[in-house]
Structure 1
Amino acid sequence: MPESLEPELETLDEVNNGGKSMSDMRNPSSSDSESDDDAEDQRLEALEKELAENPMGYDAHVQYIKSLRKHGHLEKLRQARESMSALFPLSPIMWQEWANDEASLSTGPEDFAAIEKLYERGVLDYLSVPLWCDYVNFVQGSDPSVRECSPAGILKMRDLFERALTAAGLHVAEGNKIWEAYREFEQTIFHAIDESDIEAKEKQIQRIRSIFHRQLSVPLADSGSTVLSFKAWEVEQGNILDVNSSDLDGIPSHVASAYQRAMEMYSARVHFEEQISKQDVPDTERLQHFMIYLKFEQSSDDPSRVQNLYERAVTEFPISSDLWLDYTRYLDQTLKISNVVKGVYSRATKNCTWIGELWVRYLLLLERCHASEKELSAVFELSIQCTFSSFEEYLDLFLTRIDGLRRRISLSEAEDVLDYAAIRSTFQHATNYLSPHLKNADGLLHLHAYWARLELNLGKNLVASRGVWESLLKISGSMLGAWQGYIAMEIELGHINEARSIYKRCYSKRLIGTGSEDICHSWLRFEREFGTLEDFEHAVLKVTPRLEELQTFRSQQDPKGISGLTSQKEGPLKKNAPEKRKVGTRLADEQPPMKRQKDASHNPKRVYGKDKAQKSTESSKVREIESKVENSDTTDEQQIKDSTSEKTKLYTDQCTVFISNLGLQANYEHLHDFFSDVGGVVAIRILKDKFTGKSRGLAYVDFLDDEHLAAALAKNRRMLLGRNLSIARSNPKQGKKRESFGSSTAIEHVEGGSDSKEAVEIISNESGAPQASSYASHRRGEHVELKGKNTFAVPRTVRPLGRSKNEPMSEEKDENPKSNDEFRNMLLKR
């Protein structure tokens, strides 16, 4: 190890261990009291027991590593770090501590490869510029080939720097550190080249100049100092530039233009960088700032910058499931490099093990990448060992795994030899795991239906398919869908007798809800479509007593519900019957005299057996019935009006303006912006056509108080979207007054605001037909006397015979019935 690196590592050890280096940890001072050692041993034992019971306890792992590192238990410390890294990604600080601890304990070049591997693992977990800087410094100082500037060592170092730039070179706040380290390394090589080798010197100068140009084209913090360094370098190479000025004089035009674009990009992002770098704000707020920043970067359509910012965000918030879901979704849509996306999914599922959707999408990604069956199986086994919030997530995982196996077997894309036994074992595993928790659930039914279909189509095994349905019936035999699915399969295969036997098994069972009645009716439909007459009659013989039994049982369980249902079904019939009789009575009374005579001729006993007193009594009874009918109709109408008023409540607001001449394209945002200078807007309601849902050019705007209302009224005749708005104060009292008289010209708005598509309108006398006033009078309960004869509804065939069409009909009373000869003469006369 180089001498320049040892003091640095030793200092870092002291900082991380409260002033103790690793050598001090190996040789604890005798001043430590035995009581402290005993307490620490008990703490370590407690943490070991906790981890044995719950290996997924992240905080317990962290505390255990800290305790072991504090007391120098080196072998246990290595094991603890390996155990945690197998389950969770370690933070950049933890990787730095681990690598520095191992470097401080290294005794020779043989330990270099192990430490280098630690750095490789660390930079893959999270994006960390300090960790990358430690990595390149370690390799540059510890690798003999790099120190000797051998071609292999130089090539290795350049590859490492390029990887570091790809990962963190776009980091706006800290990316400059890697660029500067890269330039310093190349400048060191330049000075090591022999002065006589002019060609090598010139080639190295161009390489360093290229790094400068690349750095100046990236929006980074402190780019001004980079410009000064670039000028100083050019001066060293013999170019005349003003090294004390940060302007671009003397710099090549293409470099200057790239730098100006980079500065414009940096200016657009500096505000976001300031927001996400604040440390004195809650984490939720900082995460929100990251999400806003990410949306901005996505709008610029630069995937590399978006991915870099996502990496920065997940480093700061590693257990934000929404962030990981958003990140992986973006990569699925934009990035086609399977290895990169696979690594992100691996880290996402390690950080948020409890999110089933991440595991499902991970399996789908592996299938798209044509991963091996071994890798797919390993990820699936890890997923079902996690703890999810619902068993539906486990079901989704099992189905995703089965889908992949089915596709690989059907399309013969698997490199490994796969057979149907893999699908069958996965189905069996899913059933054993989920059946106790998803009993009588639709998800379990879907799983078994899928299984039975695959047994039939891929496995070519009808017996096994029937066995799947039978196993489901043992678990969820009270589900109607289980029996129907089994029957549907047999019918689809043309096995009518087998389907009938299933009906005979299940029609007498007690199923959930109305399943028992439904299966009985289903059996009857089945026999109508597929059975003989004897089969249908047999089904009726079996089903009828069963339905009666179920009806009796339902009535005993819920007599109110059955009676209510019966009354509800019979209600319309009972209501229509008396109404028809009432209408018939009224029409009979309104018929002309000849019509009444014609009816009387068919039933002479009913007319001619009565004297005048009886006729008078009958007339009074008819008037009494008619009065009752009218009162009944008025009561019914009043009830309808009351019920309507209960359902449709009108606004009675007092701080509201009514807006007309509103553009049809105007929406709520337009109106809100229009009254933004007034303020106090509480609600906005735009009236819409109830059929088309489009705006009618009318709106109501509610305000907080009269002061804001007055200011809004002052904006009358102002222009919005090219139209002068008419703004007036809404007067609900006046609307109610007009409504009470049956003539309103205003449109009242219904409860529901702007989301409602209907409005209550009262037709005015000016624009309506004459029936409007009669309607209003009838609604007030007034009796309108109809003068003259009501003959408008009398058919032509009822007009008295023996007169012309235009001849007025004279009123005849108690006319004697005509004989056949008289009728014949009348017809001949016509």
Structure 2
Amino acid sequence: MAEASDSEMGSPENEALISAAQNPSSSDSDSDSDVGEAEELLRLQTLESEVSSDPSKYDAHVEYIKCLRKLGEIEKLREAREAMSALHPLTPLMWQEWARDELTARPEAFLEIEKLYEKGVFDYLSVPLWCDYLNFVQEHDPAVRECSSEGILKARNLFERALTAAGLHVAEGSKIWEVYREFEQAILLTIDENDNEAKEKQVQRIRNIFHRQLSVPLANMRSTLLAFKAWEVEQGNVLDVNSSSMDGISSHVASAYEKAMDMYDARAHLEEQIVRQDISDSERHQQFLNYLNFEQSSGDPARVQILYERAITEFPVSRDLWLDYTQYLDKTLKVANVVRDVYSRAVKNCPWVGELWVQYLLSLERARASEREISTVFDKSLQCTFSRFGEYLNLFLTRVDGLRRRISLPGQEEVLEYALIRDAFQYASDYLSPHLKCTDDLVRLHAYWARLELNLNKDLVAARGVWESLLKNSGSMFGAWQGYIAMELEAGHINEARSIYKRCYSKRFAGTGSEDICHSWLRFEREFGTLEDLEHAVRKVTPRLAELQLFKLQESKSTAASTDQIENPHKKNAREKRKSTSSRTDEQPPAKRQKDTAQNPKKVDGKGRIELENVVASNEEQELKAKDDKPDDMNKRQMKGPSHEKNKYLDQCTAFISNLDLEANYEHLRDFFSDVGGVTAIRILKDKFTGKSRGLAYVDFSDDAHLAAAVAKNKKMLRGKRLSIARSDPKQKGKGAGHSNDQTGTVGESDSKESGQISSSKAPQARRDDNFQLKGRNTFAVPRNVRPLGWIDKKKKTEEETDEMPKSNDEFRKMLLKS
């Protein structure tokens, strides 16, 4: 084998192979790193698709940013952070990491990084983030670093903002004060030694910062006092640096310090509770609430606001905290810009709370914000997901209220058109009607709309159009008609109100609405109409009320029967058993009773013999009666039943409906066929035991033309179900959708009468045995050689059949008496 040349041995590939052979652990670590990087890339792709598909997922954004930061994808990382900050607030730590990463990647991009810090301190209260911001400005802002007058002024304004935001933070506020003092002390060192006036002015500035800090209840106040004394000694004042006494300090500073110490001591135990690590989040939340109650009792709004900011930083998605915070600011602080900023942060942290959006809109109106800003906030609110549709309704009403006030009240700076109100109402109706159909909330919305059209816009036609559009979709609501009538009466339009009564008095309303509208029409005519109008109303209303009373009576009976069946099932079963036992003998055919008697001969001496003779005599009478009856009469009697005659519907011009919603009622079907017309009666088939709908119905029409139009609506939707509609054919009993309604059902309301129940009548069951057919309820127990009553054999009898004739009653009597 030839040896490899030196050049080949020295190639990078061979060196890598040799290195891997000499150090196998290094090769394994490289392969492990490759596998780990591949897993990270796969995870990155998964998170990227998850964020793009659903940007509302907060945790997915956080994980995606962490993964990008780990892989060092600075461009994608910047885009991911910007996308998240547009939808969700970032934590203070995330803002710090973002600013540091940008500073490392682009140290020259000072303005962009400064904007990042501004956004960060706006989202949440964070002393470490403020300290990073202040140090960043001192180190990287050229004007501040060179101590120019503009730079010093900019830095001081920023320090004062930081003190306003976090200077009262009991636990960490002293850090802001220390950074501020260090900055001013550095400025003192840059002043010329010979410029005594400037030096003295700067010394007084630093002394004032010390005095202000000593008057605020903060942690480590004693160390601040010692630092103040040491600084005073440097300025040539004689003080005991190692003593915490107030000797040598001005009286007003000493008094403010002692007061601040007392305030801190009163809050020390509360501070300890909210920073404990051994308690749950719910307990810490409660401790914050206790602390807030204490601060509110002290009456210092600035301190209360700082504590609220600390609380929401710990619990950013607490609905109750944001509501309490914003309501406190509305009542106490009343600074428009501050309140507006807090509301914008509140809805960003808790966008699913409709009440926050409502209060936000009201705060903008109080601050006299522009229509453009208010409409922008309103549009954002509708993009959120709320738990109840009532919250959407409240938002729409708040929007309309604001527009109405700004249009109707004089002295408004911005002139608005009424079309904005109409557009808002139309948007609300389109948005909410599918979800609030036939509800009082929808009626109130349209009533408000119609009233503004009539009173504010002075357009009667538009106001009536509002009511008509509501009646088109919710015409079965009593409140909708009542509101329409009330508007016409308020406007003094008597004839129009009367015409509405004539349209709705015959409609079916929930509860007592049908009776109420009738009585309301009578009261209306007594108060506003002539005698002829009153008499006309009485003629119309009287039969309608009687019809409603009948329907109510039938409904109460059906409900009572169902309730009795549900509450006393054992009692009903026992009653039915007793009834069936007592009437079993009467229901059986004579031949059956004869066989039972023959198989169970009782004692014939004494009372037993008399009972048996009575049974036999009764059988003879029934047999003689059966011989006198014609077969047709027997069949008719069986069909009529024992006590009453069954209602029979011819179904000559009837539509059969199947796949009907179980909650659909007569009014739903009447509205469904309202465009067809010609409906004379409606029958919904119901279960005879439960009284509930079976999803089937019959609708009678006045003529074939209306019926054909109704059948043409086959496969149309009603209450979310696609109806199957066919012409009912009485000749096709039990053969499909078009069969005659020989089932249990309920007759619906018609123009002239309210209908009742149709009793059950199933087709008789036929059963063949040998050469003949038995019919009836109890034929299963009839002896094979006994023909049922009314049976006629049309076939020619054979000799064998002739020999097996049924025994007569005399033969049965002789046979039983012998035993």
For Structure 1 versus Structure 2, the TM-score category normalised by the shorter chain is 0.5 to 0.7
For 1:137 and 1:327, the matched residues in 2 are separated by 31
1:238 Cα deviation (Å)?
0.9
1:86 Cα deviation (Å)?
1.3
For 1:33 and 1:180, the matched residues in 2 are separated by 46
For 1:422 and 1:451, the matched residues in 2 are separated by 12
The amino acid of 2:323's aligned partner reads L
Contact 2:143 2:151 in 1 (8 A): yes
Contact 1:555 1:562 in 2 (8 A): no
2:51 corresponds to 1:56: no
2:67 corresponds to 1:67: yes
Tell me which residue corresponds to 2:356. 358
Tell me which residue corresponds to 2:499. 501
Tell me which residue corresponds to 2:473. 475
The amino acid of 1:386's aligned partner reads C
Tell me which residue corresponds to 2:276. 278
Contact 1:363 1:379 in 2 (8 A): yes
Contact 1:314 1:320 in 2 (8 A): yes
CA spacing shift, 1:415–1:54, aligned 2, 3 Å:
farther
Tell me which residue corresponds to 1:43. 43
Contact 2:478 2:513 in 1 (8 A): yes
Tell me which residue corresponds to 2:719. none
1:560 Cα deviation (Å)?
7.1
2:88 corresponds to 1:88: yes
C-alpha distance after superposition, 1:160-197 (max 9, x if no partner): 11111111011111011111111111111111111111
2:415 corresponds to 1:426: no
Aligned with residue 262 of structure 1, among 260, 263, 267: 260
Mapping for residues 370-385 of structure 1, pairs under 5 Å = 370-385=368-383
1:200 Cα deviation (Å)?
0.9
Mapping for residues 702-781 of structure 1, pairs under 5 Å = none
C-alpha distance after superposition, 1:772-800 (max 9, x if no partner): xxxxxxxxxxxxxxxxxxxxxxxxxxxxx
Contact 1:373 1:414 in 2 (8 A): no
C-alpha distance after superposition, 1:16-52 (max 9, x if no partner): xxxxxxxxxxxxx977744433433332333233223
Tell me which residue corresponds to 1:208. 206
C-alpha distance after superposition, 1:236-267 (max 9, x if no partner): 11111111111111111111111000000000
The amino acid of 2:385's aligned partner reads T
For 2:427 and 2:434, the matched residues in 1 are separated by 12
Contact 2:467 2:480 in 1 (8 A): yes
Contact 1:169 1:176 in 2 (8 A): yes
CA spacing shift, 1:458–1:552, aligned 2, 3 Å:
same
Tell me which residue corresponds to 1:11. none
C-alpha distance after superposition, 1:107-160 (max 9, x if no partner): 42xx10110111011111111000000000000011111111111111111111
Tell me which residue corresponds to 2:543. 545
For 1:184 and 1:394, the matched residues in 2 are separated by 53
Contact 1:440 1:479 in 2 (8 A): yes
1:416 Cα deviation (Å)?
4.2
Contact 1:173 1:273 in 2 (8 A): yes
For 1:45 and 1:513, the matched residues in 2 are separated by 59
Contact 1:372 1:415 in 2 (8 A): no
For 1:525 and 1:341, the matched residues in 2 are separated by 53
Contact 2:477 2:509 in 1 (8 A): yes
For 2:174 and 2:538, the matched residues in 1 are separated by 86
The amino acid of 1:182's aligned partner reads Y
Aligned with residue 312 of structure 1, among 310, 321, 325: 310
3-state DSSP of counterpart to 2:508: coil
3-state DSSP of counterpart to 1:512: coil
Aligned with residue 182 of structure 2, among 169, 184, 187: 184
C-alpha distance after superposition, 1:372-423 (max 9, x if no partner): 0111001001111111110001000000000001111112555444211111
The amino acid of 2:68's aligned partner reads L
CA spacing shift, 1:305–1:367, aligned 2, 3 Å:
same
For 2:164 and 2:31, the matched residues in 1 are separated by 50
Mapping for residues 148-163 of structure 1, pairs under 5 Å = 148-163=146-161
2:95 corresponds to 1:101: no
For 1:413 and 1:562, the matched residues in 2 are separated by 65
For 2:132 and 2:444, the matched residues in 1 are separated by 54
For 2:447 and 2:374, the matched residues in 1 are separated by 24
1:440 Cα deviation (Å)?
1.4
The amino acid of 1:197's aligned partner reads D
The amino acid of 2:548's aligned partner reads L
For 1:250 and 1:31, the matched residues in 2 are separated by 72
Contact 1:452 1:465 in 2 (8 A): yes
What is the TM-score when the length of structure 2 is the normalising length?
0.64
Tell me which residue corresponds to 2:698. none
Mapping for residues 2-151 of structure 1, pairs under 5 Å = 33-108=33-108, 111-151=109-149
For 1:106 and 1:562, the matched residues in 2 are separated by 83
Contact 2:407 2:415 in 1 (8 A): no
CA spacing shift, 1:237–1:31, aligned 2, 3 Å:
farther
C-alpha distance after superposition, 1:90-117 (max 9, x if no partner): 1100100111111111242xx1011011
For 1:96 and 1:412, the matched residues in 2 are separated by 49
The amino acid of 2:506's aligned partner reads S
Aligned with residue 169 of structure 1, among 160, 167, 170: 167
Contact 1:272 1:289 in 2 (8 A): yes
3-state DSSP of counterpart to 2:208: helix
Contact 1:456 1:465 in 2 (8 A): yes
2:453 corresponds to 1:488: no
Mapping for residues 178-577 of structure 1, pairs under 5 Å = 178-412=176-410, 414-559=412-557
5+ residue gaps in structure 2? 1-28, 562-819
For 1:562 and 1:457, the matched residues in 2 are separated by 50
The amino acid of 1:94's aligned partner reads M
For 1:170 and 1:551, the matched residues in 2 are separated by 74
1:360 Cα deviation (Å)?
0.4
Identical-pair percentage: 72
Tell me which residue corresponds to 2:715. none
Contact 1:455 1:461 in 2 (8 A): yes
For 1:413 and 1:382, the matched residues in 2 are separated by 29
The amino acid of 2:95's aligned partner reads W
C-alpha distance after superposition, 1:501-551 (max 9, x if no partner): 111110111111111111011111111111111111111111111111111
For 2:325 and 2:212, the matched residues in 1 are separated by 27
The amino acid of 1:294's aligned partner reads L
For 1:44 and 1:555, the matched residues in 2 are separated by 70
Mapping for residues 787-806 of structure 1, pairs under 5 Å = none
The amino acid of 1:487's aligned partner reads I
The amino acid of 1:58's aligned partner reads Y
The amino acid of 2:158's aligned partner reads L
The amino acid of 2:276's aligned partner reads K
The amino acid of 1:51's aligned partner reads V
For 1:67 and 1:43, the matched residues in 2 are separated by 8
For 2:406 and 2:47, the matched residues in 1 are separated by 45
Q: How many residues in Structure 1 have an aligned counterpart in Structure 2?
A: 534
The amino acid of 2:153's aligned partner reads L
Two-structure CA RMSD over aligned residues (Å): 1.7
For 1:553 and 1:55, the matched residues in 2 are separated by 56
